[in-house]
Amino acid sequence: MASDLIGFDSFTLRGDPVTRAKAALRVARHQVRLAYDDAKSWRLESVLSDIEDEIGVQLSEIEDAVDADAAAVEESGEGAARRQAWLPLRAA
């Protein structure tokens, strides 16, 4: 059984943890789609389809949370302060 898990496909995750989590979910969704195309029975197709849908929902929830956090930062005025902090100092 363990030899079934050994493969040659690899990928590298880069960026912050949220970006890496989203990339891992996209890879998982792609692998589920590939498995769906190879499915031998309608039962397996059904389960894989459900998994693909759920991964899509999870990706959407992450995106919505990131967008909501960004909107909250802008609404509180903290976003402008962060942008201002990155501006170079002007000579007096």
Q: pLDDT of 7-28, one tens digit each?
A: 667 778 889 999 999 999 999 9
Euclidean distance between CA atoms 88 and 66, whole angstroms: 28
What is the band of 1 on the pLDDT scale with cuts at 50, 70, 90? very low
Q: Is the pTM of this model over 0.95?
A: no
Question: What SS3 string covers the chain?
Answer: CHHHHCCCCCCCCCCCHHHHHHHHHHHHHHHHHHHHHHCCCHHHHHHHHHHHHHHHHHHHHHHHHHHHHHHHHHHHCHHHHHHHHHCCCCCC
